[in-house]
Each structure stands twice: as C-alpha cells, then as structure tokens.
Chain A
C-alpha cells in the first residue's frame, strides 16, 4: 500500500472573475426572470398552476387516498374480518369486530370496521395484506375534519358509493397478466355505481359528495 494521501488542509475558495466583480452576470439573471415573466404572461398554457378545486391534478391509479371497502354483487361487504389489514397496519389505525354468520361454513363478517383517518399514514399496507380485495384505496384527498371523533370512519362511510366511480379508484392490487379481468372488475364496480345512483335517486350525501 502506498503512503496514504492526506486530505486537503487548506481551502481554495472561488476566485471572482472581472465580470463577477462588475456585477455583469446580474444582467443575465434579469434576462432570465424577464423571459419567464413574458412567457407566462403571453403564452397560453405555459402556466403550471393547477386551478384547484375547479381543476385537479391527474393523479395515477395508484394514488393512496381514502379507503374503500368493496362489496360483493349482492351488496354485502367482501371483508371476512380476518384482521390481516389491522395486523399489517403500522399505525394500528384499523379496528375490526368480527361477527359470526349463523352458518359456520360461511366466512365471518365485520360488525365494526373503523379506520381512524387521522392516524392513518396511507401507506397501502392494508391493501397489500387483504386476501379478498375487500379494502382498496381511492384517489380522494379532499378530507378535513372538525373534530377527532368525526375522523373515525365506519363501514357506511367506507362503502360510500361515490368513491366507486372507476376514475376515482386509487391504490389496489394489480394483475399485470390479467388486464382483461381487471377491466371486468372495473366494469362490475361501474355497474354498482350506476345501481347505487339509481337506488339513491340522485339525492343524499353520496350524490352531493360526487359533485364536489
């Protein structure tokens, strides 16, 4: 091994050029800001600002927003109260109470399913853990609460039909090999929305939320 090279003991700071000393590069800077100013003023579409709430950013279909509990075609929850989501949750924000069906051969169902949205860190681990695709996420980020109790959302809110609008679905299991099947599921969800809209007759909280 050769003798180790020592680290520099002195510093060599940047040396000003003549132009630097004469403040000349400032003119370049002014030109840059002027260029941006003029372009943003006169060129349509050059502004990057998103006019929320009228306009929304085009988030992907993996966006991790508010949760959805999905339903079977008959309208019951797909959830079988296996507690995997609650176990996988690093924030420990899911509370489930399981109920037994009268027929022991049929899987359990959740009597209580609550998510504390203020605890939730939206990591998507519950979606990964679910063996039934019973919990998925929407791309809904319009959430705000006025008190802590309000933030604990229960089954009826998680099953809200407006979030079943296919364009508002977020993070959910993907089937790279089976795009067709996914499309089918999407269609199924879409049918559910239609049905739900029909059932609600275009009124009630669900419909209002959809217009937000």
Chain B
C-alpha cells in the first residue's frame, strides 16, 4: 500500500529535480538578443555551469523555449508551431524587450509581445539583456519550477490526507 505510491512519488521528485537543474533550451533566436545568447553560452559566461548548455534546435528534444529577438507577424505562425511541437512539461522564457512586448517597435509588422500567441513563464527585460540578466531569468525560472513542484506536492498530500479521512470515516 505504501510502497507503490512511495516509489512513484520519489520518482516524480527525481524527475523534477533533474528537470529544473538541466533545462534543455531551444534558442529561438532571431535578432540582437540571439547574439547575447551566444555570449551567454560562450566562455565568459558559460551557461553550462547551471546545466543549461544542452542547446537543442529540435523542439521535440527541448523543454525550455527561449525566445530571443523580435517576433514579427510573419514569424508568428512558425513560433506557435514550434511551441506546439514541444513535449510537456515546457516553459517559455521571453528574452528582451521585443519578445516581451514589442519593445520600441510599435509597428505594422511586429508582434507586441509573444504572449499574444504563446504563454510566457519568465520575461527578461533589456534590449538586449546582458548575459547575466538572462542567467538571472533562467535562475528565476528554476525557482518557479521549484515553487510549482512544492505547490503540487502540497496539493497532493492534502488530497491524500482527505482521502485517508474519508476512508477512516
């Protein structure tokens, strides 16, 4: 009775621990921010110190969509398709002013923030954000994933408790 749920819960925890410490980002880099993303990956900042260096360009192998750069209306359908192709669980980091809100391009061909088409978990301001800013954003995402896990666990235990109560009754 105990054993079965214990194993699955432990396994889920292990999975979540692994997830938050090794995101596999898909850099959807279109513009200036992509250059700063390259800096983040290169020697001076080295994002692999956090375990996020497994940059995948295939949406099917990644769990964090890192939108770096302006998304135009022409690019919109492409971004949406890529997001849909990513397996769950997935998160979205919006890097830089353009991806977050359109930035100073209040213009006829620029999407005013990617949250028009896909949900965003973390917004990183800056034009472009410095590599530290991006890493800060990634660490915030890690914390967010952690918080969500704790939230879920709490719900689960409260569920289990209430189940136990009804059974006892």
Mask: chain A, 86-121; 1 = CB below 8 Å from B; 0 = not:
000011110000000000000000000000111111
Cβ of A145 and Cβ of B136 under 8 Å apart?
no
Interface residues of A (CB under 8 A from B): 48-53, 56-57, 90-93, 116-123, 141-148, 151
In the bound complex, residues from chain A placing their C-beta under 8 Å from that of B106 are: 92
Known A143-B125, A151-B125: A52·B144 in contact at CB below 8 Å? no
The residue that B103 contacts in the complex, of A119, A143, A146, with Cβ under 8 A, is: A119
Chain A binder among B6-14, B15-23, B39-47:
B39-47
Q: How far is the CB of A168 from chain B (nearest CB, A)?
A: 13
The residue that B97 contacts in the complex, of A48, A118, A141, with Cβ under 8 A, is: A118
Cα A56 to Cα B115 in complex, Å, equals 31
Cβ of B125 and Cβ of A56 under 8 Å apart?
no
Interface residues of B (CB under 8 A from A): 43-46, 49, 97, 100-104, 106, 113, 115, 121-127, 129-133, 135-137, 139-140, 144
Interface CB pairs A-B, < 8 A, 9: A91-B97, A91-B103, A92-B106, A93-B104, A118-B101, A141-B132, A145-B125, A146-B140, A148-B113
4 pairs of A and B residues whose beta carbons are closest in the complex: A91-B104, A121-B127, A118-B100, A144-B137
Cα A90 to Cα B49 in complex, Å, equals 37
Cβ of A56 and Cβ of B132 under 8 Å apart?
yes
Q: Which residue of A lies closest to B140 (CB)?
A: A144
Q: Which residue of A lies closest to B100 (CB)?
A: A118
Cβ of A148 and Cβ of B115 under 8 Å apart?
yes
Cα A144 to Cα B122 in complex, Å, equals 6
Q: How far is the CB of B120 from chain A (nearest CB, A)?
A: 8
Cβ of B125 and Cβ of A49 under 8 Å apart?
no
Cα A121 to Cα B46 in complex, Å, equals 25
Cβ of B127 and Cβ of A122 under 8 Å apart?
yes
The residue that A144 contacts in the complex, of B46, B49, B123, with Cβ under 8 A, is: B123
Cβ of B126 and Cβ of A51 under 8 Å apart?
no
Cβ of B49 and Cβ of A119 under 8 Å apart?
no
In the bound complex, residues from chain B placing their C-beta under 8 Å from that of A123 are: 127
Cβ of B97 and Cβ of A144 under 8 Å apart?
no
Q: How far is the CB of A133 from chain B (nearest CB, A)?
A: 23
Cβ of B133 and Cβ of A49 under 8 Å apart?
no
Q: How far is the CB of B145 from chain A (nearest CB, A)?
A: 12
Cα A141 to Cα B113 in complex, Å, equals 20
Cα A74 to Cα B129 in complex, Å, equals 34
Cβ of B97 and Cβ of A121 under 8 Å apart?
yes
In the bound complex, residues from chain A placing their C-beta under 8 Å from that of B139 are: 53
Cβ of B136 and Cβ of A49 under 8 Å apart?
no
A51, A53, A91, A118 interface centre (most CB from chain B within 10 Å): A118
Cβ of B104 and Cβ of A121 under 8 Å apart?
yes
Cβ of A50 and Cβ of B103 under 8 Å apart?
no
In the bound complex, residues from chain B placing their C-beta under 8 Å from that of A122 are: 126-127
Q: How far is the CB of B55 from chain A (nearest CB, A)?
A: 17
Q: Which residue of A lies closest to B43 (CB)?
A: A48
Cα A36 to Cα B28 in complex, Å, equals 31
In the bound complex, residues from chain A placing their C-beta under 8 Å from that of B103 are: 91, 119, 121
Cβ of B104 and Cβ of A92 under 8 Å apart?
yes
Cβ of B97 and Cβ of A119 under 8 Å apart?
yes
Cα A118 to Cα B133 in complex, Å, equals 13
In the bound complex, residues from chain A placing their C-beta under 8 Å from that of B122 are: 144-146
A119, A144, A148 interface centre (most CB from chain B within 10 Å): A144
Cα A57 to Cα B100 in complex, Å, equals 25
